């Protein structure tokens, strides 16, 4: 399993926000972030509402996976715990 930091980008009207998370996976990190973005507000989201790399939630908020970077295990564990931690089993 590899360790990563990544970003989830959200937009709601003129408001934009980027949330930095840390995650561990042996899958493609871009696909992993994409799955997290798809289910960011709704665990039951099946991705049918994806338009131009953005997932629509309730017709108002859009979310997508952003940039990511590989980090070593020591750096990953030293990151502040206010970064949300995800692992393979967290995305169904």
Report pLDDT digits (tens) over 32-42: 999 999 988 87
Structure pTM? Answer: 0.80
- In this predicted structure, what is the pLDDT of residue 86? 65
Do β-strands 84-87 and 15-25 pair in parallel, antiparallel, or remain unpaired? Answer: parallel
Among left, alpha and beta (phi > 0; psi -120 to 50; other), residue 59 is: left
pLDDT in tens, 41-81: 877 777 778 888 899 887 789 999 999 999 999 988 888 76
- In this predicted structure, what is the pLDDT of residue 92? 44
Which domain covers residue 11, as residue numbers?
2-91
Contact 36, 86 (CB under 8 A): yes
- In this predicted structure, what is the pLDDT of residue 69? 95
The total domain count for the chain is 1
Per-residue tokens: 85: 């931690």
Contact 45, 61 (CB under 8 A): no
């Amino acid at each position: 399993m590899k360790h990563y930091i990544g970003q989830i980008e959200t937009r709601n009207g003129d408001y934009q926000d980027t949330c930095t998370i840390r995650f561990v996976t042996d899958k493609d990190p871009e696909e992993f972030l994409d799955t997290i973005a798809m289910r960011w507000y709704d665990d039951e989201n099946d991705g049918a509402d994806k338009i131009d790399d953005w997932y629509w939630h309730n017709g108002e908020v859009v979310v997508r996976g952003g940039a990511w970077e590989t980090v070593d295990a020591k750096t990953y564990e030293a990151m502040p715990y206010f970064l949300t931690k995800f692992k393979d089993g967290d995305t169904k």
